[in-house]
Amino acid sequence: MAIIKMKKMYFLGLKKDLDRILDALQRLGAVEIADIEEEEEGSARVTTELSELESKLTRLKFAIEFLKPYGKEPNPLFYGRPKFSLKKLREILSREGKIFEIVDTIYGFEQRFSRLKAEETRILNQIELIKPWGGLDIPVESLGTNGRVELKAIAVPKKNFKPFMDKVKEKDLPLEVIPVGESREESLALAVYHNSAKSDVQELYKEFSANTEEFNGFTGTPADIVLKLQERLEAIEAERQKIKEEITQLADRLLDLKAFYDYLLLEKQRKENLLKMAETEKIFVMKAWVPENSVESVKEAISSVTDAVHMVFEDPAEDDDIPVALSNPRLVQPFEIVTELYSLPNPREIDPNLYMAPFFFVFFGMMVSDAAYGLVLSLLSALAIWKLKLSGMGKKLVELLFLGGISTFIWGMIFGSWLGDLIKIKPLWLNPLENPMAVLYLSFALGVVQIYTGIILSAYKNIRNGKVADALMDQGLWLLFLTGLIMMALLGMTGTAKYMALAGAAGLVLTQGRSQKSIIKKFTSGLLSLYNVTSYLSDVLSYSRLLALGLATGVIATVINTMAKMLGVNVVGYIAMIIVMIGGHLFNIAVNALGAYVHSSRLQYIEFFGKFYEGGGRPFEPLRMKTEYLDLEDL
Amino acid sequence: MEITLGQVLALLGAAMAVFLPGIGSAKGVGMVGEAAAGVVTEDPGKFSQTLILQALPGTQGIYGLLTGFVVMQRIGLLGGNLLPLTTHQGLLVFAACLPIAIVGLLSAIAQARAAVAGVGIVAKRPEELAKGITYSAMVETYAVLALLASILMLFGIRLA
């Protein structure tokens, strides 16, 4: 329970055994290799090997991602990742050449695709340009100068076209302008003129910013050109389809690629650790972290490989950077995600999960607090746990929602809320809508319990570190003072309460300034410390959200029911009513489950963790069989 | 039936409790959505993470709606027989609506700012999403407190 104790391991062995030793350790997955401090630069050989591995991995990754849409692999969320045996994975090395041929082919496909794409874009642009000229029914190669006559295709900005035509008429030049169509911004026309008028015509062009269109590189009428371009587009699409078919034929090699990727990934993980070791020509020294309960299995794994090693296990020193691994009862494990998302405990404090879990459980349910919602939440989560192959954080989160659903169900029964007011079942305790003050006091009471737990854990931490006096003065006196104040608030100024509060206050004034040097400062900072009582007060008031969010769920559910019932006037209305109810309540569950998760986390982070928790731990990351695509069998 | 000034005031309170936080939430959710869309352009895989952040400033609108609903229920609007409220009663209901109406409007926008910053966290360090959510949820506390005040007042006022 709590944080697993770590042992520091020093390991001396022969370099010729190193590969096999690392392999055995990776299979075991219980050793985190640490940097040896006295070590110089990592060996150049390993560094180059690593960068080669990196580039191979990048290429493989690209090929896998490229091929993925073409393969029909079952969704790993529903069916789990493909299984692969370690033996088969090792055999795959012999096929390295073949596999990289596939990767090269895939790079080739990618290039062909991008060439086609570029051509397609160019053609689309040309079509856009030429299509408006469809009305011009002469071949474009006959444009230009024919003896004395010039034939030009011109484009005039639309707003200039009418004045342009007027001017042409007015000037009475040997010039004929025949409109042939319009593009988006320009009017298009064919201009025919005698070359004696060339300079006048060019003058006109300039005045009305007309441009001539040359159709360089094309032959035939514009309509023909467009037709031809469109044919080419179809050909491009056909070629693309052909490539896709070729790729699809490769898709069954996807598993090979993935397997090889994972093989290289495992190798990379081993190689990276080589850089952390110190070595001479023949031997190496390695420093590593091993969970105390895995020490025996590590010894076993190593001795199965070689005898020529020397291992020392020792307790970590004061200033060691110890990695953190947690071990909690199965029921508490889902709650670890709440702490992990905040910060792992640092290796020298207590694991808060066990103490936090019950509060999170109670608060989550109280904020959703509808029995039917709880059932839905739990059933959906159970379905997800059962049907989906979840792992890691996702699994913990769904399990957390499952437990939250149970808590929600219990609180729903206590408050008599079943889909809001839809199903009327007598509450086990009371309906918070009728007596919100009672629930508000309950919320505050729960808050006081959690804050006291936090203070006591803080005292425990001090005592564990041998600071009994600090525990008594910093936490014990506060507990005394706060308890006195609470009793005064509840029972009035009775004798005991008054003396407890006074004794606590006096103690705090006398002790809280003890780190100060001068007598006056000791006294003033002691006096000022009493001001902290406001922070405890605001902490407690913060728990009023337990009531508020619970009320919100109930009232929104009632709103949904009322709106839905208004629809139930005829058959169509009844159908609409059922749809509104299902949709509305699902929405309400989603919003309130999110709200409950966020706000119960917040109560842990701010009000609870603030009292005793430091965090800042570094997760234990052992060398292990960490694959990206496959699940390994027979480890 | 004659309509009293009290009824008008009570209904005005309900309307404000709905529309002010509604405006705040709409603006807030929109702000976070804009920021989130930017992140998703770079990395579509961050959709669900940013969606959670976007949902956060949306709660004020819901709190407002539910306060408005409690008013409608208390003054008998939903049952069809509106209570003949005096002017003073109407003012009491109106006053009770003010906390969530005003705090809802402003806190939704403030919360959205924190959530937009949270989207920035998701962009660079997606594993720290929970911290972004917590920063944003800190702001929501005050909307929750205002809701609590409004609801407790509404339940406390004697109307019949």
Query: How high is the pLDDT of residue A609?
Result: 92
CB contact under 8 A, B141 and A545: yes
CB contact under 8 A, B63 and A552: yes
For the record, the structure tokens of B8 come out as 């008008």
Q: pLDDT tens digits, residue range A169-210?
A: 888 788 888 888 888 888 888 888 888 888 888 888 888 888
Q: Give the number of residues written for chain B.
A: 160
pLDDT above 60 (res B137) = yes
* A471-485, A523-537, B105-119: range with lowest mean pLDDT: A523-537
Within 131-160 of B, beta carbons closer than 8 Å to A belong to 131, 133-134, 137-138, 140-141, 144-145, 147-148, 151-152, 155
Nearest residue of B to residue A557, measured between CA atoms: B66
Query: Which of B56, B138, B144 is best to mutate for the A interface (most A CBs within 10 A)?
Result: B144
Residue A593 to residue A587: CA distance in whole angstroms: 10
**For the residues A378-400, what does the mean pLDDT come to?**
90
Q: pLDDT tens digits, residue range A326-383?
A: 999 999 999 999 998 888 898 888 899 999 999 999 999 999 999 999 999 999 999 9
Q: pLDDT tens digits, residue range A564-596?
A: 988 888 899 999 999 999 999 999 999 999 999
Nearest residue of B to residue A553, measured between CA atoms: B66
**For the residues A419-437, what does the mean pLDDT come to?**
87
**Is the overall model pTM greater than 0.90, yes or no?**
no
pLDDT above 90 (res A479) = yes
**For the residues A17-26, what does the mean pLDDT come to?**
87
Most confident of A253-262, A353-362, A460-469: A353-362
Nearest residue of A to residue B130, measured between CA atoms: A341
For residue A110, give the nearest of A243, A203, A199, A235 by alpha carbon: A243
pLDDT above 80 (res A254) = yes
Query: How high is the pLDDT of residue B1?
Result: 67
**More confident position, A88 or A42:** A88
Q: A484 with A504: CB under 8 angstroms?
A: yes
pLDDT above 90 (res B33) = yes
Nearest residue of B to residue A547, measured between CA atoms: B148
Query: How high is the pLDDT of residue B64?
Result: 92
Q: How far out from the chain centre does Cα A487 lie?
A: 47
Query: Which of A341, A396, A401, A621 is best to mutate for the B interface (most B CBs within 10 A)?
Result: A341
Chains A–B, number of C-beta pairs less than 8 Å apart? 75
pLDDT above 90 (res B130) = no
Q: pLDDT tens digits, residue range B140-151?
A: 889 989 998 998
Looking at CA atoms only, how far is residue A550 from chain B in angstroms? 11
**For the residues A228-252, what does the mean pLDDT come to?**
90
pLDDT band at A37 (very low <50, low <70, confident <90, very high): low
Q: Which ipTM did the prediction report?
A: 0.75
What's the whole-number average pLDDT of chain B? 90
Query: How high is the pLDDT of residue A107?
Result: 92
- Partner residue facing A545 (CB), from B69, B144, B155: B144
Q: A270 with A26: CB under 8 angstroms?
A: yes
pLDDT above 80 (res A38) = no
Q: Between the CA of residue A516 and those of A468, B108, B157, what are the distances in Å?
A: 20, 44, 53
Residue B56 to residue B28: CA distance in whole angstroms: 9
Looking at CA atoms only, how far is residue A342 from chain B in angstroms? 7
Query: How high is the pLDDT of residue A634?
Result: 61
Helix (H) or strand (E) holding A157: strand A149-157
pLDDT above 80 (res A80) = no
**For the residues A408-424, what does the mean pLDDT come to?**
92
- Partner residue facing B62 (CB), from A341, A552, A606: A552
Nearest residue of A to residue B146, measured between CA atoms: A548
Residues of A in contact with B63 (CB under 8 A): 552
Q: A419 with A564: CB under 8 angstroms?
A: no
Q: pLDDT tens digits, residue range B65-107?
A: 889 988 988 898 877 788 889 999 999 999 999 999 999 999 9
Residues of A in contact with B72 (CB under 8 A): none
- Partner residue facing B137 (CB), from A436, A440, A599: A599
Is the CA virtual torsion B15, B17, B20, B25 positive or negative? Answer: negative
| Burial of A107 per CB tally in 10 Å (0-12, 13-18, 19+) | middle
| Rounded (5°) CA angle A250-A253-A256 | 160
Nearest residue of B to residue A607, measured between CA atoms: B138
pLDDT above 90 (res A606) = no
**For the residues A506-510, what does the mean pLDDT come to?**
88
